[in-house]
Amino acid sequence: MPTASPDQLVHQLNWRYATKKFDPAKKIPADTWKALEQALVLTPSSYGLQPWQFLVITDQAMKEKLVPISWRQTQSADCSHFVVFTARRTLTETDVDAYVRRTAEVRSVAVDTLGKFKGMMMSQLVPPPTGFDIHQWASLQVYIALGNFMTAAAMVGVDTCPMEGIERKNYDEVLGLSSSPFATVVACAAGYRAADDKYATLPKVRFPAEVVVRHL
Amino acid sequence: MPTASPDQLVHQLNWRYATKKFDPAKKIPADTWKALEQALVLTPSSYGLQPWQFLVITDQAMKEKLVPISWRQTQSADCSHFVVFTARRTLTETDVDAYVRRTAEVRSVAVDTLGKFKGMMMSQLVPPPTGFDIHQWASLQVYIALGNFMTAAAMVGVDTCPMEGIERKNYDEVLGLSSSPFATVVACAAGYRAADDKYATLPKVRFPAEVVVRHL
């Protein structure tokens, strides 16, 4: 299968913008969504631990319930698929074991052969070193997923809007996460821009490459 | 310009893996690297503030200097381009002003017309609310850049290895960042896998989609 060309990459990333107004009539086709969901699943993470869960919301009533707890931004209601990125609140030996078992399963090896791998993760993360906040660490990993998701979507021509302006505790309550191992971190709307979203044509504001990139 | 197909996206993301052994003889062609650097520049961020600087290291001596402060991982020495992702330590009114001026410049409007925009950012971030750590917030944004970069690279057939196992304070020292507004957060090696990197063919370990994705 051919890779994308460098021009195609830059073209799609320039095409991308934080969509303010989605066309509520346009839904992401099933095969495209399946690929984007697969992109989420394939996101790399620290030790491969995947300390996250992605909530994909397409139910219209639920999407509308999120508007008042999203600084009244309407993207959740108007987009096709609304993704809430959640991160683990804590990390226990049970969680590490689940990952080790999954590794053994996927790679067809005995769990016992992964003792060193488990020990390495345990020694770094369970319990976490003083001053090391697991939820913060997991949140960083979730932002890899966010970056991956937005770029993946741009490459296949799907619009997105990352949303940090959300009331996380209220999200947790509405989404039934309050006593789950996962807490809301950030969200991202996905779908297709409305024809009259005036933000679509505004020039993208970035510092010049000379300012943000240094060569050594 | 055509978008990537959903299949192409998933194929490239499956092709991607955390490359342990790069082929030191294979360098990323200039036009491909230019596109990846542009991808970094185009990364979306909170308010568009881009609280980061990306250090691109191709100098062999410097690349080798990083090995002993990267848990002795050799990717920095062997890869083609080594990127150190740094984030702002603090955010001042001067920083916000620089962004507002850049916005005015790019969008051809008077700086005065952006007073409300500036006020919104100042009220949220300068000074930050109690318990809100600017460097942490900036680090989250940097992880968007990391996710974007790895996916962008995968799409154009460039291998990467994200590296959290680095001694950040020592990186700051070696890279001359100790008294700069930016501090090392994470790094990523980019280049091409060595033919004998045994990690290239190991099955990718991910939890099943049913475990990490919930539909509502």
Q: What is the pLDDT along chain A (216 residues), one digit of tens a residue?
A: 889 999 999 999 999 999 999 999 999 999 999 999 999 999 999 999 999 999 999 999 999 999 999 999 999 999 999 999 999 999 999 999 999 999 999 999 999 999 999 999 999 999 999 999 999 999 999 999 999 999 999 999 999 999 999 999 999 999 999 999 999 999 999 999 999 999 999 999 999 999 999 999
Dist. CA A134–CA A88, nearest whole Å: 8
Contacts with A141 from chain B: Cβ below 8 Å: 143
Does A107 contact B207 at a Cβ distance shorter than 8 Å?
no
Enter the ipTM: 0.97
HSE, side-chain direction, 13 A CA sphere, residue A57? 24
In terms of residue numbers, what domain contains A45? 18-90+135-194
| Distance from the first to the final alpha carbon of chain B | 35
Asked if A192 has any chain B CB less than 8 Å from its own CB, the reply is no
Q: pLDDT (tens digit, 9 = 90+) per residue, B49-105?
A: 999 999 999 999 999 999 999 999 999 999 999 999 999 999 999 999 999 999 999
Round to the nearest angstrom and report the end-to-end CA distance of chain A.
34
Q: What is the CATH number of the domain that holds B162?
A: 3.40.109.10
Would you say the pTM of this structure is higher than 0.80?
yes
Strand order in the sheet with B213-215: A159-163, A182-191, A81-88, A52-57, B213-215
Residue A57 placed within a domain: yes
CA B148, CA A48: separation in Å to the nearest integer?
Answer: 18
Assigned domain for B85 exists: yes
Measured between CA atoms, the residue of chain B closest to residue A35 is B6
Cβ–Cβ contact B165 with A under 8 A:
no
Say yes or no: A79 and A113 in one domain.
no
Residue the block writes with tokens 């920095």: B76
Phi and psi for B129 in degrees, rounded to 5?
A: -60, 155
Question: Considering the domain boundaries, does residue B34 fall inside one?
Answer: yes
- Total structural domains in chain B? 1
Q: Is residue A6 part of a domain?
A: no
Cα→Cα distances B195→B23, B72, B112, Å: 7, 21, 57
- Among residues 63-92 of chain B, which lie with CB inside 8 Å of chain A? none
The CA-CA-CA angle for residues A147, A29, A185, to 5°, reads 30
